[in-house]
Copies of this chain bind each other. A is one copy, B any other.
């Protein structure tokens, strides 16, 4: 098998065009997903049904022609073996039940997330030519789900916990760093060609809190993965403009950024491979605008290799499959047609 485009780009080898995949590329915006989703009792059952999860993971390959498949799952699943109860109710955000006591967390047993590695294994069988991405939430993002219980944007409870119970917070971050490492290493052993760490909730915290209470754990996590495995690590973090210099020191091969940064500047300042950057709200506009904004971004990228096209955050359920297709096509044609 020839080295896939996406992995060549990460290795900064010559590429014929920018590789493309999209965060939440398999999801509610797809009628085909909805159809599969109805076959499972609830969202969590869907994640645990290997057969269905594989089907869902592969949808974007068939429907969009992206350059990578990402395991279909949810960042909350490793919290269950830790002893937290997770609930997904249709139309609401997820709920996480935890007492707030560290002593109520069980030692993480990665076997309890066996269905995840099984999905990765099957995906590797089906998808011969495109790499399979494994993933996990970042320790901070998982901590804030545990602490908030339900999605509260401002992270009020998390911040109070962080500031008032700093010792406990650091212990929690250690537990979650170990958990994520263990969870990701099993995905890699099951065949994941690369892994992405999702730190979606960092947007709301201060530069100084990130530096002291988030960065060291991400660095530790990435360091451990890189020490034992050969696979590239992508680090996705919101509030990119605030933390980009620190993110670049985590050891992650790829920095996946939101739309708060200008890649024509950052890709010159930092040697990392970059991913993302397009404001997903572009997908709410008309077709001409989708095309125009995508091309605008592509033209601003200062080098051909070492960049993976993606959005600055995930696709939303109310977005239009037709526009997503157009987006992917536009990236794939760039450099050939233009």
Contact = CB atoms under 8 A, between A and B. Distances in A.
Interface of A: 153-156, 159-160, 163-164, 205-209, 211, 239, 241-242, 259-262, 279, 281-282, 284-286, 289, 293, 296, 300, 312
Nearest to A153: B153
Given A156-B281, A281-B156, A259 B207 contact: yes
Contacts of A259: 205-208
Given A154-B281, A155-B281, A281-B155, A241 B207 contact: yes
Contacts of A209: 279
B239 A260 contact: yes
B289 A164 contact: yes
A284 B241 contact: no
Given A155-B281, A206-B260, A208-B262, 17 more contacts: A156-B281, A160-B284, A160-B285, A163-B285, A163-B293, A164-B285, A164-B286, A164-B289, A205-B279, A206-B259, A207-B260, A207-B261, A211-B262, A239-B241, A241-B241, A242-B260, A242-B261
Q: Which 5 A-B pairs have the closest CB atoms?
A: A206-B259, A241-B242, A242-B260, A241-B241, A159-B281
Select the residue from A208, A262, A296 with max chain B CB neighbours within 10 A.
A208
30 contacts: A153-B153, A155-B281, A159-B281, A159-B282, A159-B284, A159-B285, A160-B281, A160-B284, A160-B285, A163-B282, A163-B285, A163-B289, A163-B293, A164-B289, A205-B259, A206-B260, A207-B259, A207-B260, A207-B261, A207-B262, A208-B259, A208-B262, A208-B296, A208-B300, A209-B279, A239-B260, A241-B242, A241-B260, A242-B260, A242-B261
A241 B208 CA distance: 13
B241 A279 contact: no
A68 to B, nearest CB: 24
A190 to B, nearest CB: 36
Nearest to A266: B207
A279 B159 contact: yes
A110 to B, nearest CB: 34
Contacts of A282: 159, 163
A152 B134 CA distance: 33
A278 B261 CA distance: 22
A203 to B, nearest CB: 8
Contacts of A312: 206
Contacts of A207: 241, 259-262
A288 to B, nearest CB: 8
Contacts of A206: 259-260, 279, 312
Contacts of A281: 154-156, 159-160
Contacts of A154: 281
A285 to B, nearest CB: 5
